[in-house]
C-alpha cells in the first residue's frame, strides 16, 4: 500500500475549507474498520485514508506547515499503513471509569499478545505488538496498543475466495472465543491486501 507523501496532504487553509466533508467521509469509512472484541477491547484497523486524516488533524491542531514538521508527522504515521500482506490496528482497552480501568489494565498485562485473527482453514495469526515502543510493564498494560497481523499468501488467497474471518482473545483474564468478523469489516480488510 502506498505510503503518504507531502503531496498527498492539503495545506492548512485548504483543509480548513474541506474538513467537514473529509471528516464525514473518514467517519463513514471507519464504520467498517472497527472490530469490537467483547465489551472492553476494540480493534480499529488503520489504512491510508485513516492515516491521512490523522496527519491532517495533527497538522491542523498543532498548526504545522514547515516541511520538516510535516515529514516528522508522516514518519510517525506511515508505519501504521498496511504493507499489502498485513493488517495494522490500533487496539483500545476501554473502561469508562478510571478506577475500573486502572484495575483492568493491571489484570490484563500482555493482552496485546493474546489477540488473534483466523482465516477459516488456516492457523491463528497473532499480532506483532508495539513495534515502536513497549507499552506494557510488569504491573500494567497500556490502554492503547499498535498491532500488526502478518498474513501468508495462502490466507490472502482464501479470503479473496470467500473464506470467513474470525477473531478472539485468549488472555486468562479476558476471553472471547471464535468471534466472526462481520462481512463488511472483512471486505474492508481484504482491500488492504495486494
pLDDT of residue 63: 86
Q: How confident is the model at residue 47 (pLDDT cuts 50, 70, 90)?
A: very high
With left for phi above 0 and alpha for psi between -120 and 50, is residue 7 left, alpha or beta?
Answer: alpha
Mapping DSSP to helix (H, G, I), strand (E, B) and coil, where does residue 133 land? Answer: coil
CATH assignment of 34-46+82-194, given 1.20.58, 3.40.50, 2.60.40, 1.10.10? 2.60.40
Confidence check: pLDDT of 11 > 70:
yes
Q: Where are the beta strands (DSSP E) in the chain?
A: 34-37, 41-46, 86-93, 115-119, 124-125, 128-129, 144-150, 165-171, 174-180
- Write out pLDDT tens, residues 144-191: 999 999 999 999 999 999 999 999 999 999 999 999 999 999 999 999
- Write out pLDDT tens, residues 79-136: 999 999 999 999 999 999 999 999 999 999 999 999 999 999 999 999 999 877 666 7
Distances (CA, A) of 72 to 60, 105, 153, 175: 14, 31, 33, 38
* Rounded Cα distance, 114 and 93, in Å: 13
All cell numbers assigned to 116: 488473534
Is the pLDDT higher at 132 or at 40? 40
For the chain, domain boundaries: 1-31+48-79, 34-46+82-194
pLDDT of residue 65: 83
Residues near 102 by beta carbon (within 8 Å), at least 6 away in sequence = 140
- What b/e readout covers 118-157, taking b as 16+ CB neighbours within 10 angstroms? bbeeeeebbbebbeeeebbeeebbbbebbbbbebeeebbe
Amino acid at each position: 500500500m502506498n505510503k503518504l507523501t507531502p503531496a498527498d496532504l492539503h495545506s492548512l487553509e485548504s483543509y480548513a475549507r474541506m474538513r467537514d466533508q473529509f471528516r464525514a467521509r473518514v467517519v463513514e469509512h471507519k464504520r467498517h474498520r472497527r472490530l469490537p472484541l467483547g465489551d472492553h477491547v476494540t480493534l480499529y484497523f488503520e489504512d491510508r485514508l485513516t492515516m491521512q486524516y490523522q496527519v491532517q488533524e495533527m497538522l491542523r491542531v498543532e498548526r504545522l506547515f514547515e516541511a520538516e514538521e510535516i515529514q516528522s508527522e508522516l514518519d510517525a504515521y506511515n508505519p501504521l499503513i498496511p504493507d499489502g500482506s498485513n493488517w495494522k490496528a490500533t487496539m483500545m482497552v476501554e473502561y469508562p471509569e478510571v478506577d475500573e480501568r486502572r484495575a483492568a489494565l493491571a489484570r490484563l498485562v500482555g493482552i496485546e499478545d493474546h489477540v488473534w485473527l483466523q482465516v477459516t482453514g488456516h492457523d491463528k495469526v497473532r499480532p506483532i505488538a508495539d513495534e515502536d515502543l513497549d507499552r506494557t510493564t510488569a504491573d500494567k498494560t497500556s490502554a492503547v496498543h499498535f498491532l500488526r497481523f502478518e498474513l501468508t499468501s495462502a490466507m490472502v488467497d482464501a479470503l479473496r475466495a470467500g473464506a470467513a474471518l474470525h477473531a478472539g482473545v485468549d488472555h486468562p483474564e479476558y476471553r472471547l472465543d471464535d468471534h466472526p468478523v462481520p462481512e463488511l469489516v472483512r471486505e474492508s480488510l481484504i482491500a488492504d491486501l495486494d
